[in-house]
Chains A and B, each alone.
Chain A
Amino acid sequence: MNDLLSQDILDIIFQDPQVRRLHKETLADWILDTQPHTAPLDSAALLEYLAAHQPDLLNRLKINVRIKEDLARALESNARN
C-alpha cells in the first residue's frame, strides 16, 4: 500500500474548511488514542476507521482526483484482506 496515502488523506481532510472541526478532532483523537506512536500511521487502519465512523468523508475522498486511484487500490486491497 502507498506509504504516503495516509498523509495525503489527512492533508485533504485537515485542509478542507468544509470538513467539520468535530470530525477532524475525532479523527485526531482516534490516531492519538489507538494508533501506535512508534510506527508510521497505517493507511489500512485509517481507511477502516473512516469506513466505520466517517463514511461521508470517505466517499468524498473517493472522488478526490489527487488520491482516488491510490485510494481505490487501497480499498480493494483492504477488501481482499
Chain B
Amino acid sequence: MTNCLLLSPRFPEVSYWSFREPCELIGARYPAAPLGLVTAAALLPSDWTIRLLDLNVREMDPAQLDWADIVMAGGMIPQQRSLLALIDLCHAHGKRIAVGGQDPTGQPDIYAAADYLVLDEGELTIPQFLADLAVGAASGIYRSEEKPDITLSPTPRFDLLDLQRYIYAGVQFSRGCPLNCEFCDIIELYGRRPRTKTPQQLLRELECLYRLGYRGHVDFVDDNFIGNKKAVKAFLPELLAWSRQHGFPFLFSTEATINLADDPTLLDMMEAVDFRYVFVGIETPDSRLLIRTQKKVNTRHPVAESVHRLNRRGMVVTAGFILGFDGETRQAADAIAACVEDAAIPMAMVGLLAALPNTQLTRRLAREGRLPKAQFRLEPGDADQATSGLNFIPSRPRAEILEDYAALLRQVYSPRRYFGRVLAVARRLVRHPKQVGSIRGRWIEFRALGALVWRLGFDRQTAWYFWRTALVVLLTRPGNFEVTFHLMAFFLHFRTHTRIVLEGLDRRIQEAGKR
C-alpha cells in the first residue's frame, strides 16, 4: 500500500484568474478545481491511498507530508514559485516528489531538483514512472513524443475534490488546437490535431460529478472547444439528451475560437445545453498583427459582429487581448480599447505578450537575439501576462508599451466603462437558461447580492454606475439580472487586480525609462 499526496500549488493572489473577491462572496476559495491532478490521480494504481490538497483552497500543514510515501504535484507557469517551494519543502521532510504539468513539461530544467519529472501527457508517462517506482528507482525523467489517445483516459477522480470550494468544476473534451498561432504553447504541448474523448466517456465524467451531488457550473477546459467541430457536433446532442434526462443539472462555459460565431448549427446546440460563457482569444483587432502572429481565423469578421452574435445566443464573451506584438504602432492600445467597448466585453483579459517556453515566437526571438533569458522564470510579484509579459526585446520602446498598457487598463476597468459594458451586454443577451440552481445556491446568491450592494452600491466611485445598471436591467431585461449581478461582482476583482498591476507597471515604466 502506497500513500500518495497530490498537491496543487498556489496561484498568485494577484492573478487575473484568481477572482478572490467574487469567490469570497459565494463562499468559494478559488474559481477552478485542479482537473489535471484528479486526472493524474485516476491513472495511479487502484491500491494506492490518495489524498489531494489544493493549496488554493486549503492551508497546508507540513505535518501532512509525514503521511505520504510519495508526493506528486503539477502546475502551470503562474504556479511555478509555489511548485518550486514544494520541492524544497518535501526534501526538507525527507519525501520524494514527482512533478509534471504544463510548466515542468515546457521547461524541465527549472525543476531539476525534483526527484521525478513526469512530463508531457500523463496517460503515457505516468505508467513509465510507476514501472520505475515499482523497481525502486530513486529518480527519473519520463517523456513521450507520442500524443496519447484520450479516448482511453479514465474518468478523473472528482471524488478527491471539495467541490463546494470552487466556482466551477472542470471537464475536458479535447486536447490540441488546429490553429498555428505563433505565441501559443498549446499546439506545442498537445499538437495541432485535436484529439477528443467519446461522448459516452464525457457523459460518464458528468455522471460522476452528478452522483457526487455537484450542481451548477461546469467548465470545458479545452483550449479550443471547437477544434474538432465534427466531434463536438456529435457530442452535443448526446449531452442535451443526458441533461434533459437529469433535469439540466449543469450550465457550461468553455474557450473557443471566434469562428464559433459563424456556425449557427453549433450555436443552436450549445444554446440548447446551456452554455453561458465563452472565452475567446481576440488578441488584437489589427488584422496586420493577426496575420503576422498567424491567427488569421480572427480576421474573417469584425470582432464586435461576432461577439454580438454570441451574445444573442445567450453567451457572455470574455476575451483575451495582447499588447506588445512585433510591428504594432502607438495606436494599438487605443484600437484594443475601442474593440472592447464596441463589442461590449465586460471581462477583457488585457495582457502583455509573453514569449512562453517552446513556442514558435520564442524560437524566432531567440534566433533574432531578442530573448535575454532562456528560461521563463517568475519573479516575486509576477503572476500572469499582466505582470510578467514582455520577457523579450520588443519592436518598439518597452517604456512606451508599458505606458500604453497602463493607459489601456485604466480605460478598460474604469467603473464608467466597465458598468457601461455590463449594461450593453445585459441588453443584448438573449438567454433561455435551463439550469435553475438549487435553493441553497439561491440563498448563497441572495446573500452575495446583499454583500455586493454594500460594497459597490455605497462606494462613491461605483454607486451611480452600479445602481443605474441594476435598475435599468431590472426594468428592461429582468431575465438578465442574474448575469448582470455576476458581472458586477467580478468588478470587485478587476478593481483590485488593475490597481495592483498598475502599481507594478509604474515601477517597470520607471525602470524601462532609465535603460
- A positions within 8 Å CB-CB of B: 3-4, 6-7, 10-11, 14-15, 24, 28, 31-32, 36-41
A14 CA to B300 CA, complexed, in Å: 6
Asked if residues B287 and A37 are in contact (CB atoms below 8 Å), the reply is: no
Taken residue by residue from 407 to 450, chain B's Cβ proximity to chain A (1 for < 8 Å, 0 otherwise) reads as 00000000000000000000000000000000000000000000
The one of B288, B301, B302, B326 that contacts A7, using a Cβ cutoff of 8 Å: B288
Asked if residues B301 and A15 are in contact (CB atoms below 8 Å), the reply is: yes
B299 at the interface (CB under 8 A from A): yes
A70 CA to B301 CA, complexed, in Å: 22
The one of B287, B291, B300, B301 that contacts A32, using a Cβ cutoff of 8 Å: B291
A57 to nearest B CB, angstroms?
15
B280-311 contacts to A, CB under 8 A, are: 286-288, 291-292, 294, 296, 299-302
B395 at the interface (CB under 8 A from A): yes
A5 to nearest B CB, angstroms?
11
B184 to nearest A CB, angstroms?
16
B64 at the interface (CB under 8 A from A): no
Asked if residues B327 and A38 are in contact (CB atoms below 8 Å), the reply is: yes
The one of A6, A14, A39, A40 that contacts B299, using a Cβ cutoff of 8 Å: A14
Contact A31 B292, CB 8 Å, known A37-B326, A40-B329, A41-B327: yes
B412 to nearest A CB, angstroms?
21
A14 CA to B294 CA, complexed, in Å: 13
Asked if residues B294 and A10 are in contact (CB atoms below 8 Å), the reply is: no
Asked if residues A28 and B296 are in contact (CB atoms below 8 Å), the reply is: yes
The one of A7, A36, A40 that contacts B287, using a Cβ cutoff of 8 Å: A7
Contact A39 B327, CB 8 Å, known A14-B296, A14-B299, A28-B296: yes
Contact A31 B291, CB 8 Å, known A7-B286, A11-B299: yes
| Residues in chain A near residue B299, CB distance under 8 A | 10-11, 14-15
A45 to nearest B CB, angstroms?
12
| Residues in chain B near residue A41, CB distance under 8 A | 288, 292, 327
Contact A10 B328, CB 8 Å, known A32-B292, A32-B294: no
B46 at the interface (CB under 8 A from A): no
| Residues in chain A near residue B331, CB distance under 8 A | 3-4
| Residues in chain B near residue A6, CB distance under 8 A | 288
A10 CA to B288 CA, complexed, in Å: 7
The one of B287, B294, B328, B329 that contacts A11, using a Cβ cutoff of 8 Å: B287
B483 to nearest A CB, angstroms?
30
| Residues in chain B near residue A31, CB distance under 8 A | 288, 291-292
Asked if residues B292 and A40 are in contact (CB atoms below 8 Å), the reply is: no
A10 CA to B284 CA, complexed, in Å: 14
A10 CA to B299 CA, complexed, in Å: 8
Asked if residues A10 and B287 are in contact (CB atoms below 8 Å), the reply is: yes
Could you show 24 A-B contacts with beta carbons less than 8 Å apart?
A: A7-B287, A10-B287, A10-B288, A11-B299, A14-B287, A14-B291, A14-B296, A14-B299, A15-B299, A15-B300, A15-B301, A15-B302, A24-B296, A32-B291, A32-B292, A32-B294, A37-B327, A37-B364, A37-B395, A38-B327, A38-B395, A40-B288, A40-B328, A41-B292
| Residues in chain B near residue A14, CB distance under 8 A | 287, 291, 296, 299-300
Q: Taking CB as reference atom, which chain A residue is nearest B364?
A: A37
Q: Taking CB as reference atom, which chain B residue is nearest A27?
A: B291
Of A7, A24, A39, chain B has the most CB atoms within 10 Å of the CB of A7
A76 to nearest B CB, angstroms?
22
B322 to nearest A CB, angstroms?
15
Q: Taking CB as reference atom, which chain A residue is nearest B326?
A: A37
Given A7-B287, A14-B296, A40-B327, 10 further pairs, Cβ under 8 A: A3-B329, A3-B331, A4-B331, A7-B286, A10-B287, A14-B287, A24-B296, A31-B288, A32-B291, A39-B395
| Residues in chain B near residue A36, CB distance under 8 A | 327
Of A14, A38, A40, chain B has the most CB atoms within 10 Å of the CB of A40
A7 CA to B332 CA, complexed, in Å: 12
Q: Taking CB as reference atom, which chain A residue is nearest B365?
A: A37
Q: Taking CB as reference atom, which chain A residue is nearest B394?
A: A38
A7 CA to B292 CA, complexed, in Å: 12
A31 CA to B293 CA, complexed, in Å: 11
A31 CA to B294 CA, complexed, in Å: 11
Of B287, B292, B326, chain A has the most CB atoms within 10 Å of the CB of B287
A51 to nearest B CB, angstroms?
19
